[in-house]
Amino acid sequence: QKEVEQDPGPLSVPEGAIVSLNCTYSNSAFQYFMWYRQYSRKGPELLMYTYSSGNKEDGRFTAQVDKSSKYISLFIRDSQPSDSATYLCAMKRGNNRLAFGKGNQVVVIP
Amino acid sequence: GAVVSQHPSWVICKSGTSVKIECRSLDFQATTMFWYRQFPKQSLMLMATSNEGSKATYEQGVEKDKFLINHASLTLSTLTVTSAHPEDSSFYICSAREDVRTNQPQHFGDGTRLSIL
């Protein structure tokens, strides 16, 4: 079993819809959770960073962490065509390396 | 804040050439930088962890003599792909982490697309 599971299947939504992305993990020692957005031919850009269970909101983005279920989510409200990108979940324990999900390609259709 | 600059963004060169990629943290000091490789439609694969003033730590399967890493200052790490061959063609991405508090996230550069002919 991989440490981090993220369904890479492309996700197409109409503009204005809510985008919902999920990752599950197996290592209960993970403490820090991140979501990165990566546009084509660019490096990943940090969107959300959290270390506690619950919700964290930043503009149209909400990150949700459920440590008891080993499950994290990213919600994008009022999605825009500019949100079309690949979204990577990542997590780590303390000072250790990041464990990445495979990434979710999101397409927002105008 | 937390900007990481990577240069060059795109390199095309002949087989057998050595290529150097630079990674700079522009507005913070980074004791630790990371080098990743990414193939199309795949996630990032960690190649090595670069520590300022000491030898890099390479991941299993990554040839340290092939991928030379130097981290001579708190704001600069370089990756040199020596005697590059077509199979080395890939997207190379660096990241850096502020080390004032070790629980800070990594910030990534914009990557270098390396094409070996």
What confidence score (pLDDT) does residue B101 get? 58
Give the tokens for residue B31.
Answer: 């004791």
Asked if residue B103 lies in contact with residue B97, where contact means CB atoms within 8 angstroms, the answer is no
What confidence score (pLDDT) does residue B100 get? 54
Residue of A nearest to B105 (CA): A49
- Residues whose CB falls within 8 Å of the CB of residue A94, separated by 6 or more in sequence, listed in order: A31, B102, B103
Interfacial residues of B (vs A; Cβ cutoff 8 Å): 2, 4, 6, 34, 41-44, 46, 49, 91, 93, 95, 102-103, 105-111, 113
Condensed to tens digits (0 to 9), the pLDDT of residues B68-108 reads: 999 888 899 999 999 999 999 999 999 998 765 567 788 99
Residue of A nearest to B33 (CA): A97
Where are the alpha helices (H) located in B22-114, listed in sequence order? none
Q: Is B19 helix (H, G, I), strand (E, B) or coil?
A: strand
Asked if residue B30 lies in contact with residue B96, where contact means CB atoms within 8 angstroms, the answer is yes
DSSP 8-state secondary structure symbol assigned to residue B102: T
Mean pLDDT, residues A3-16 taken together: 91
Which is higher by pLDDT, B94 or A93? B94
Rounded Cα distance, A76 and A79, in Å: 6
Condensed to tens digits (0 to 9), the pLDDT of residues B54-63 reads: 889 999 999 9
